[in-house]
Structure 1
Amino acid sequence: MIALWDTTATEVVKALASERHSSGGLTSGLALNLVVIVDEKGEREAEAALTHAAQQHPCRLLIVVRRDSDQTAPRLDAEIVVGGRLGPCEAVVMRVYGPLVEHAESVVMPLLAPDVPVVTCWFVSPPVHTSADPLGAFADRRITYSARSADPIASLRGRAEDYSAGDTDISWTRITYWRSLIASAFDTASAPAASVTITAKQTDPSAVLMSGWLGGRLGVTPTIDDTDVVRDSEHLPAIKAVTITLENGHEIAITRDEGGNTLLRRTGFPDRTQTIKGRTLGELLAEELRHLDPDQPYEAALGQCTGHLELCRDAEAASA
C-alpha cells in the first residue's frame, strides 16, 4: 500500500505503476475500469461492497471520495492498493477536496486502464445529467442509485429524460428476485392479465420501476397501494405484495413478510413458499457488472413508469 498526501494525478500514476510492478499486477488481466463516487460517510460501506464485486470482476478500481467541497484550495490525497484489502484488483482511493470535488475527472482519466470498458457508479445522489457529467461522459455503463436521492421519483424522471444506452440503476437490480418469481408464475397463467396491484411504499423507486416493468409486459396500468414496509436492509425494495388478476378471474399473488418469507399463490395450484433475503450492496453491484451491454428491460421499464414511451419503443427495437 502506498499513501500520497496532497499529491497530483501525475504522482499517483507513477506510484500505481511502481506498486503494480512490485506486486506483479498485470493490466492485461483486468476486465474493466470501475469508477465509484462516494461521500465520506459512505466510504466504509462502499469499500466493503467493492471488495465483494472485485472478487468476481477483476478491475482497476478508482474510488472518488468527496470530502470538504467548501475548502478554497484543491487537494488530492491518494491511497494505492494492489491485491490488498480491497480484493484482487488494482485500487486507488482518491480523497478530493475543494474545487477538485467538481472536477475529479482530471485525476481519474489519467488512471484509466487502456482497452477495457469503463463503468461509473454513483453510490451518492446521482448528478442531474449522468451522461453529460464529467465522470459519466467517458463511461460505457453508468450505474446510479436513485433510492439515495432526496427525491427518488424525481431522480427516476431525470434518468428517463437523460437516458443513454448503458444506463441502469441499483433500484432496478433490487427487484431481480421479484421479477424472476413473477415471470415463473406466468408459466401456468391461463389468461392475459386484467389488473395489477402493487402493495408498496409509493416513494420507493424499485416499486415504481416494478410498475413500469409489469405495465409494459402485461399491457395494463398497475396500481401502487401505498403502505409502510419494514425492511431488514436498505437494499431491499419496499414492496410487500404483487397481485395480478387475470381476465378469467384467476389470481396470481406474491406476498413477502418481514422475515423474508415469500408466498406465491395461484388459483388452481398449491401455494409455494421461498425466502427472499436482502442482498448487500456488493452483491447488487456484482450482478450489474456481469453484463456490460445496454439493459433494454430497464430502459423499457423506466420509460413506461415515467411516461417517456419513446424509451419503450427504442428498447423493443434494440432487442428485436
Structure 2
Amino acid sequence: MIALWDTTATEVVSALASERHSSGGTSGLALNLVVIVDEKGEREAEAALTLAAQQHPCRLLIVVRRDDHQGQPRLDAEIVVGGRLGPCEAVVMRVYGPLAHHAESVVMPLLAPDVPVVTCWFVPPPQRTAEDPLGAFAERRISYSARSQDALEALRSRADDYSPGDTDLCWTRITYWRSLIASAFDTASAPAASVRITADASDPSAVLLAGWLTVRLGVTPVIDDTPVHRNSEHLPAIKAVAITLANGDDIAISRSDEGHTQLRRTGFPDRSQILNGRTLGELLAEELRHLDPDQPYAAALASCTADPALCGGSEKEAAS
C-alpha cells in the first residue's frame, strides 16, 4: 500500500505503476470501475466494492469528495494492489476544494487501456450522467435514485437524459420480483387483464416494476400506496403483486415482513421462498455481469415516467 498526501495525478500514475510492479499486478482485468462517493458513505462503499471486485477483477478508482469549500484544490491518494479491497488494482482518491468538481483530470490518466469503463455514483448523480466528465468516457453508468432527495424526480431526470448504457440500482433491486413474476407466467393460460401492486408509491423500485409490467403485459398496474417494512435499505418497498388473467385465474405474490415470499396461482400448489434484501455489493456485482445496454430497464423507465399515475402524479394529472 502506498499513501500520497497533497499529491498530483502524475505522481499517482507513477506510484500505481511502481506498486503494480512490486506486487506482481493483477492479471486479467475485466474493467475499469470508477466510483463516486462522499465522506459519509466511504466505509460502506469500500465494503461493497471489495465484494464486487471478488467477482469482477478490475482497476478500481474511488473518488471521495471531501470539503469543496476549501479554497485550494488538493488530492490525497491511497494505492492498494491485491490488498484489503480484493483482487483488484485500487486507487482511493480524496479530492478537496475545486478539484472535487474536476476529478476527471485525475481519473482519466489512471484508466487501464483496452478494457471497458463503468462509472457508478453512490451519491446523487449529476443531472446528465452521460455528459458528466466522469460519465462521458464510460460504457456503463450506474446511479442509485433511492439516494436522491426526491427519488421519483431522480427517475424523471434519468428518463430525460437517458443514454444507452445507463442503469439504476433501484432496477437491480427488483430482479427477484421480476424473476418470480416471469416464472409464474410459464403456466399462464391467458393474458393479464389487471395488475395491482401493494407498495410504497414513493419507492423508485416499485415504480420501475410498474413500468416493466406495463411494457411486458400491456396493462397499466394500480399501485396501492402503503407503508412497507424493510430490514435493509437495499430491499424494494414492495409488499405484493396481484395479477388477474383474462380467464379469471389469479397470480399473487406476497412478501411478509420476515422475508417469506409466497407465490399463488390458480390451479397450482403454492410456492414459498425467502426473499431477503441484498447488500450494496451484491447489487453492484449483478450489474457488472453485463456491460451491454439494458434495454428492459430503458423500456420500464420510459413507461413509468411517461405515466403521471405511476411516477408520483395525481389521478387528476393522469387524466389531463
**TM-score normalised by the chain length of structure 2:** 0.95
2: CA distance, partners of 1:306 / 1:277: 27
- What is the alpha-carbon distance in structure 1 between the residues aligned to residue 215 and residue 288 of structure 2? 25
Counterpart of 1:263 in structure 2 is 262
> Residue 236 in 1 paired to residue 235 in 2?
yes
How far apart, CA to CA, are the structure 1 residues paired with 2:268 and 2:114? 52
- Structure 1 equivalent of residue 149 of structure 2: 150
Q: For 1:192-271, what aligned pairs fall within 5 Å after superposition?
A: 192-271=191-270
Aligned equivalent of 1:14: 14
Give the 5 Å matches for 1:1-320: 1-26=1-26, 29-307=28-306
- Aligned partner of 2:318 in structure 1 is none
Identity %: 81
Q: Which residue of structure 2 aligns with residue 316 of structure 1?
A: none
> What SS does the corresponding residue of 2:185 show, helix, strand or coil?
helix
Q: Distance in 1 between matches of 2:106 and 2:98?
A: 12
Deviations 1:86-110 (A, max 9, x none): 0000000000011011100010000
Stretch moving more, 38-47 or 269-278:
269-278
Deviation at 1:264, TM superposition (A): 0.5
Which runs of structure 1 show a deviation greater than 2 angstroms over 4 or more consecutive aligned residues?
A: none
Q: Hey, what does 2:312 align to over in structure 1?
A: none
RMSD over aligned CA atoms reads: 0.8
For residues 270 and 139 of structure 1, the distance between their equivalents in structure 2, rounded to whole angstroms, comes to 46
Once residues 282 and 111 of structure 2 are traced to their aligned partners in structure 1, the CA distance between those partners, rounded to angstroms, is 24
Shift of 1:190: 1.5
Q: Which amino acid aligns with 2:289?
A: R
**What is the CA distance between 1:268 and its match in structure 2?**
1.3
Match of 2:313 in 1: none
Partner of 1:314: none
Q: Separation in 2 of the partners of 1:70 and 1:201?
A: 37
Q: Aligned with 1:187: secondary structure?
A: coil
CA distance in 2, matches of 1:69, 1:242: 44
Three-state SS of the structure 1 residue aligned to 2:268 is coil
Unaligned runs of 5+ in 2: 308-320
In structure 1, list runs of 5 or more residues that go unmatched: 309-320
Structure-1 separation of matches of 2:220 and 2:267: 25
- AA aligned to 1:35 is V
Shift of 1:271: 1.0
Give the 3-state SS of the residue equivalent to 2:95 in structure 1.
strand
Q: TM-score, normalised by structure 1?
A: 0.95
The Cα shift of 1:188 comes to: 1.1
Report the 3-state secondary structure (helix = DSSP H, G, I; strand = E; otherwise coil) of the residue aligned with 1:94. Answer: strand
- Work out the CA distance in 1 between the residues paired with 2:75 and 2:58: 22
CA distance in structure 1 between the partners assigned to 2:62 and 2:93 by the alignment: 6
Letter in 2 for 1:59: C
Count of paired positions: 307
Paired with 1:232 and 1:189, the residues of 2 have a C-alpha distance of 32
Q: Which secondary structure state, in structure 2, belongs to the residue aligned with residue 197 of structure 1?
A: strand
